[in-house]
């Protein structure tokens, strides 16, 4: 199906484990973004990518790694998960940067125990 | 990043108007947005306004922008139960990034 998808939708992991959240879009959008949503903080940008092989840090990048070898995929890896990374993670994409609308995935709820 | 502030909660009766407010901090914002998040879902763009505009109307939605006070508001006329959601304002500053507010949860009561 066309659109932007995230997997898994729910994940429970233990402190110290590595976990990868997947994001896939079928529009060939240039830009992709990862946000985390926490109560009282709204959405905060973790990393974003302007094109394949181009990534840049957002507001809260520490503890996260991203890659973008293909335009359609933008995985987010927590190298050693911590409880403070318990959150809902949203991936988004946009046709270009600037003022273009961002389209959001359904989110991944991650719990780190 | 810059802080974009919203009140956390708003409750209205069905049929009344809702007004959701947002205060942003960067006067160089070029576009300001309102996104809607329904339970268990991602965000969807509701409407946006360019920084050289004071007002934008789109059916039941009215966006007001006061650049002097850095204040943005979203008015929903004839609020319905289907409008119950979290509403986020966001500002676009050059650098291809959006800064989101904390979100306002709108509850519509019968």
In terms of Cα–Cα distance, which of B19, B48, B11, B10 is closest to B31? B48
Determine the pLDDT at residue A101.
Answer: 83
Determine the pLDDT at residue A64.
Answer: 98
- Give the model confidence (pLDDT) of A8-62 as tens digits: 999 999 999 999 999 999 998 999 999 999 987 889 999 999 999 999 999 899 9
For residue A1, name the pLDDT band (cuts at 50, 70, 90): low
Q: Indicate if the pLDDT at residue B74 is higher than 90.
A: yes
Q: What beta strand segments (E) does A14-105 contain?
A: 19-25, 31-38, 42-51, 54-57, 64-66, 76-78, 87-94, 103-104
Q: Indicate if the pLDDT at residue B2 is higher than 60.
A: no
* Average pLDDT value for chain A: 93
Q: What is the average per-residue pLDDT within A63-81?
A: 97
- Give the model confidence (pLDDT) of B41-66 as tens digits: 889 999 999 988 999 999 999 999 99
- Which residue in A55, A102, A105 has the most chain B C-beta atoms within 10 A of its own C-beta, making it the best mutation to test that interface? A102
For residue A98, name the pLDDT band (cuts at 50, 70, 90): low
Determine the pLDDT at residue A96.
Answer: 76
Determine the pLDDT at residue B3.
Answer: 77
- Cα–Cα distances (Å) from B95 to A58, B6, B42, B79, in that order, read 11, 23, 23, 35
* Average pLDDT value for chain B: 90
Percent of chain B exceeding pLDDT 70 equals 95
For residue B99, name the pLDDT band (cuts at 50, 70, 90): confident
Instruction: Locate A38 and state its tokens.
Output: 């926490």
Kindly state whether A93 is in contact with chain B, defined as any CB-CB distance less than 8 angstroms.
Answer: no
To the nearest whole Å, the CA of A82 is away from the closest chain B CA by: 23
For residue B1, name the pLDDT band (cuts at 50, 70, 90): very low
To the nearest whole Å, the CA of A80 is away from the closest chain B CA by: 25
The nearest alpha carbon in chain A to B49 belongs to: A99
| Beta carbon pairs, A and B, within 8 Å | 54
Greater model confidence, B32 or B96: B32
DSSP string covering B43-87: EEEEEEEETT-SEEEETTEEEEEETTTTEEEEEESS--GGG-EEE
For residue B94, name the pLDDT band (cuts at 50, 70, 90): low
Q: What is the average per-residue pLDDT within B77-106?
A: 89
- In this complex, which of A43, A50, A98 lies closest to B100 when CB atoms are compared? A43
Q: For residue A62, give the DSSP letter.
A: T
- Which residue in A43, A89, A98, A106 has the most chain B C-beta atoms within 10 A of its own C-beta, making it the best mutation to test that interface? A43
Say which residue the tokens 């996260």 belong to.
A64
Determine the pLDDT at residue A45.
Answer: 92
Query: Is there a contact between A92 and A103 (Cβ–Cβ < 8 Å)?
Result: yes
Determine the pLDDT at residue B60.
Answer: 96
- A 15-44 residues with CB < 8 A to B: 31, 35, 40-44
To the nearest whole Å, the CA of A43 is away from the closest chain B CA by: 6
């Amino acid at each position: 199906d066309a659109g932007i998808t995230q997997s898994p939708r729910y994940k429970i992991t233990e402190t110290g484990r590595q976990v990868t959240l997947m994001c896939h879009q079928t529009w060939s959008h240039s830009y992709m973004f990862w946000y985390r949503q926490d109560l009282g903080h709204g959405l905060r940008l973790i990393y974003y990518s302007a094109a394949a092989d181009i990534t840049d840090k957002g507001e809260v990048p520490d503890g996260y790694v991203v890659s973008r070898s293909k335009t359609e995929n933008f995985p987010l890896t927590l190298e050693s998960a911590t409880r403070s990374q318990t959150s809902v993670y949203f991936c988004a994409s946009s046709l270009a940067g600037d003022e273009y609308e961002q389209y959001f995935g359904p989110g991944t709820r991650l719990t780190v125990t | 990043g810059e802080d974009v502030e919203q009140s956390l909660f708003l409750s209205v009766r069905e049929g009344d108007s809702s007004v959701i407010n947002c205060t942003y901090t960067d006067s160089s914002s070029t576009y300001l947005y309102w996104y809607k998040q329904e339970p268990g879902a991602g965000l969807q763009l509701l409407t946006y306004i360019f920084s050289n505009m004071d007002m934008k109307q789109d059916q039941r939605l009215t966006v007001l922008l006061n650049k002097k006070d850095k204040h943005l508001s979203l008015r929903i006329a004839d609020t319905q139960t289907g409008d119950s959601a979290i509403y986020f304002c966001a500002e676009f500053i050059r650098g291809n990034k959006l800064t989101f507010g904390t979100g306002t949860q709108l509850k519509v009561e019968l």
